[in-house]
Amino acid sequence: MGRMYHIEARSFARWQVDRAVAERFWRDAKARPALSNVITISRVHGSGGTTVAMMVARELGLKLYDREIIEHIAQRLRTGMHQVESLDESYSSTIEDIVQGALERLPSSATYRRILGEVVRGIASQGNVVIVGRGGSFLLPQSLRVRIIAPFEVRVARVVELEGISEREARQKVARLDAQRRAFAKAHFRLDSSDPTLYDLVINTERTTLEQAATLIVTAARYRQTAVKEA
């Protein structure tokens, strides 16, 4: 009897804590309302994340921003796409930054980061957009933040098939891009891009089709919109 009483007491105490945490979460959420129909999608190379983003944008009637962000940044910096792409989702040390900038007339990482933030936030302020990569999930914490992943070997196989390169080349490319994107997040945002707590929804496409992944995101987005309107 005594043991059963203690178990029930602990269960009730845990329920009270969970309820208090949930109430605080929703109170904070109402104080900081979600961005209107803004979805940010982070992805690892070979996960199918870009394709999923296209499907989501088409289904919800949202505008997709991927390479368009680079175009906006190039216009702001009055430079070419190639120069911006060399900085996009990569990072150089301070010394490398100075040397590379002097040789190739590239903007500094600090300048790039500032302009990137202004461009991404400007796009988000319009609403009804899907933003792919470029630190969107970190710059817009009130968006619906999605992370698309898949195991390394699965991604390598996909890259071999889709890009028509050898397995060795695919391994090198996937590993290189993974390292660059982790370094980008760490250097510019001091965050670990693989940390699942930074996202609202993490989808592994190893056993989930891209269509199913898109459906999950669309469902979450529609539920979120309904919740925001009722708040």
Q: How many CB atoms within 10 Å of residue 69?
A: 21
pLDDT single digits (tens) 75-100: 887 777 766 666 655 544 433 443 34
pLDDT, average across residues 106-120:
80
DSSP state of 210: H
DSSP string, 107-169: PPHHHHHHHHHHHHHHHHHH-SEEEESTTHHHH-TTSEEEEEE--HHHHHHHHHHHH---HHH
CA–CA separation, 210 vs 220, rounded Å? 15
Where in the chain are the domains?
1-32, 35-230
For residue 230, pLDDT beyond 90: no
Alpha helices by DSSP H, listed for 32-108, are: 49-60, 67-77, 81-85, 94-104
Under 8 Å between Cβ of 39 and 219: no
pTM of the prediction? 0.76
Count of H-run helices and E-run strands, the chain:
10, 5
Residue 105 dihedral angles phi and psi, to the nearest 5°: 55, 45
pLDDT tens digit string along 144-172?
Answer: 999 999 999 999 999 999 999 999 999 99
> Right CATH number for 35-230 from 3.30.565.10, 3.10.20.90, 3.40.50.720, 3.40.50.300?
3.40.50.300
The type of residue at 76 is R
Q: State how far the Cα of 44 lies from the Cα of 223, in Å rounded to an integer.
A: 26
Per-residue CA distances from 26 to 34, 39, 205 (Å):
11, 20, 30
